[in-house]
Structure 1
């Protein structure tokens, strides 16, 4: 492992650690500010849905643009701004969690997340793709996801034992600042030039044999600013890329449905608080660490990415469905252990996408997929926020508090069906290896 990747992994760990600390506490802060003394609050659910939709609209435009700019000007520069902006909302709640400060946090969080939501992880994926060969890329993406899971567990574990909610936001803000400083001092710029030269050499060797086989890098115009036309060109230039994009949309639609409903559902049905939310997320994180740091690097040697992707989506569907029909809190904890297999989906999908483009367009491709996931962020609250609020209220048409979660599981099932149909073509390097050597 290069020093650059080591510094990247530590940067991602620190940043995600600060973000993970906030997740178990923010539901209690929101409920206290919007519906004090209650365990069910439709206003909070709708407000969170509106925030998610606004963030999705902004991210839909910003993610492809940031990805393309990172191809032009480097990953480190484009990592700096979103990491800095993400600090400010947490600083507000570190100062006070009273109602007025919560609304200030809410507005600033919405604005900054248009640029920050998802940016760090997809730029980190592009950085890894710049510095890791295609043969090792799935394992490297899995390790990056495992690092994120480690930070998730560590952040939630610390939140679990902190004495007050105020201290959660204070430590979170401090750690986020430290991650930016560390990144600016120690993280070297991505080795993009070498990747482009290597990729150009491979294309020259393969020559005409790669044309017409979904090699997007040969057919896209070079532009400084990525337009929607360029995003559509990416989607149309490779059937595998199009399949991955459809799959990513439906999977993210289900994931966001789970995220938007889960904490409010658990609070209303099982009276979860900050500590129990943290316990649940620690289980999620530990399962992710075992899966991505141990199981997935081993399985990539004997299984294809498409197979790992299908396994991950199948178990994610089962995981969400079990939570939706949970009759006791222990069922929720049991369902969370299925994360050990469901987290296969993310790294496998991103690896398939990475191998459909050339080395000079990793940021563009990852940004395009992230932007499409942001479009799911626009649609998701329009579907799941009303469903969650309705079925947690006293006016539900029938008794099924987890109905919105079951709908989320159904959308993940659609992604699973799509994953079965993916047949990723061989990358350029593999095509070159398989070509017969011409007789002299």
Structure 2
């Protein structure tokens, strides 16, 4: 509900009466980079803590903290209150961004048999996608003040419902008294009896979860283990660089170029949301960045099970990146207000890219290394999302201002398109390696 309205609120608080504001662009880019940095560090920690203390306990943190910034904006949207919102939103999102979706998926995995998890993930993701569309639709027809008030109320109800009705999915007992990830022999991570057979052996003492996160050297060795995997990593980097840039630049570009407001942002997001919902069978849109960047971070689409055997994942990846590249270039030279709306319809094809990329990466490692491989790709994507606003926010601010070297308001969007083009060219160089050969490329990260 907040995303369609926040651009107008930011501009009104920082640059009243203007459609271009460099300060707003810089602050939004800084916030995006800080949130990305916090997410990169905190997500593995939150996941490990949820294994120790339970999903419900960790889920309480993001659901509670997310209420505070919304409540501030519901009370007042003056400049001083906006800065308070900005600071608290940045700090809370560094800890909480993406954690609700992550913990919800872990919760489903805890409670659903393995053979039924794909369907269960599909139900969860479909609800996420539908809720995004519904929330955007509500924002379209209520005032900005009511938007933040209703969003605050809904957030409070979500936290209360979770605490009252949600049952813990992880049994909290002595078996969870130590971290799941420990150093030493993996076999020591289960209870074993001593020689007398009456007392379980003590586990290895607790150590910092940070020491168990793979090092740069480990990830480098993983990248070197497979040419195809390293090529997929390059594609992931430049594609994520582009999507982070779209998040930093697109809304302010539309505001300056076509004087978009809350209602028009909501219309644009509704088109993208409906297109995504129609195309999805087992994916969802967990956050706004997916809509703005024309990408999703999940692994199956409605059309992919039908098209993959015919076209292949490599071609689907290239098609998705090509469509995203063309969309971005046209976006940068939008000559009429209807152009962004029309381009949003074609994002259905751009959704092929990330699922195909994830599938290609997964085939390059063994079945017991999927977490490492996907974690490596996610880490590279997160790093790209950190540096992306540092590049494209200044460009956007410059070319939307009166100090632009030449008249091209969409120059930063064009630069984002070039990043997508690099990803597309790299995707054409990926070799087709069947999963049967992955044993030749297996690499294990030794704890």
Give the TM-score taking structure 2 as reference length.
0.74
Select 1:98's aligned residue among 78, 99, 108: 78
Where does 1:18-57 land on structure 2 (aligned, <5 Å)?
Answer: 21-57=1-37
* Distance of 1:324 and 1:374 partners within structure 2: 25
The equivalent residue for 1:246 is 234
Query: Which structure's relative contact order is higher, taking Cα pairs within 8 Å and 6+ residues apart?
Result: 1
The equivalent residue for 1:170 is 149
8 Å Cα contact 1:67/1:365 also seen in 2:
no
Return closer, same or farther for 1:81/1:304 CA change in 2, 3 Å cut-off: farther
Q: Kindly provide the CA deviation profile for residues 121-178 of structure 1, in whole angstroms up to 9, marking residues without a partner as x.
A: 44555666775869985x876765554332221111110001x211111111222233
Where does 1:326-345 land on structure 2 (aligned, <5 Å)?
Answer: 326-345=334-353
Gaps of 5+ in 2: 181-185, 187-206, 282-301, 440-447
* Distance of 2:327 and 2:336 partners within structure 1: 15
* Distance of 1:421 and 1:175 partners within structure 2: 47
8 Å Cα contact 1:63/1:371 also seen in 2:
no
* Distance of 1:370 and 1:304 partners within structure 2: 23
* Distance of 1:306 and 1:134 partners within structure 2: 27
* Distance of 1:424 and 1:188 partners within structure 2: 43
Where does 1:18-417 land on structure 2 (aligned, <5 Å)?
Answer: 21-70=1-50, 77-124=57-104, 145-162=125-142, 164-184=143-163, 185-186=165-166, 189=169, 224-225=209-210, 227=212, 229-230=214-215, 232-234=217-219, 236-237=221-222, 238-239=225-226, 240-293=228-281, 294-300=302-308, 302-352=310-360, 368-417=376-425
Q: Is the radius of gyration larger for structure 1 or structure 2?
A: 2
RMSD over equivalenced CA pairs, Å: 3.6
* Distance of 1:254 and 1:35 partners within structure 2: 27
* Distance of 1:121 and 1:231 partners within structure 2: 26
The equivalent residue for 2:442 is none
Question: What's the offset of the Cα at 1:425?
Answer: 5.9
Count how many residue pairs are aligned between Structure 1 and Structure 2.
382
Return closer, same or farther for 1:133/1:409 CA change in 2, 3 Å cut-off: farther
The equivalent residue for 2:286 is none
Question: What's the offset of the Cα at 1:356?
Answer: 6.3
8 Å Cα contact 1:309/1:349 also seen in 2:
yes
8 Å Cα contact 1:261/1:405 also seen in 2:
yes
The equivalent residue for 1:217 is none
Between Structure 1 and Structure 2, which shows a larger proportion of helix residues? 1
For 1:326, what is the secondary structure of its paired residue?
coil
Question: What's the offset of the Cα at 1:302?
Answer: 4.5
Question: What's the offset of the Cα at 1:391?
Answer: 0.7
For 1:36, what is the secondary structure of its paired residue?
coil
* Distance of 2:117 and 2:433 partners within structure 1: 17
Question: What's the offset of the Cα at 1:48?
Answer: 1.1
The equivalent residue for 2:284 is none
8 Å Cα contact 2:45/2:209 also seen in 1:
no
Residues 1:418 and 2:398 aligned together: no
Return closer, same or farther for 1:285/1:42 CA change in 2, 3 Å cut-off: same
Return closer, same or farther for 1:65/1:233 CA change in 2, 3 Å cut-off: farther
* Distance of 2:101 and 2:330 partners within structure 1: 28
Deviates more, 1:32-41 or 1:296-305: 296-305
Give the TM-score taking structure 1 as reference length.
0.75
* Distance of 1:243 and 1:43 partners within structure 2: 37
* Distance of 2:99 and 2:317 partners within structure 1: 22
Question: What's the offset of the Cα at 1:97?
Answer: 1.4
Return closer, same or farther for 1:278/1:59 CA change in 2, 3 Å cut-off: same
Question: What's the offset of the Cα at 1:79?
Answer: 3.9
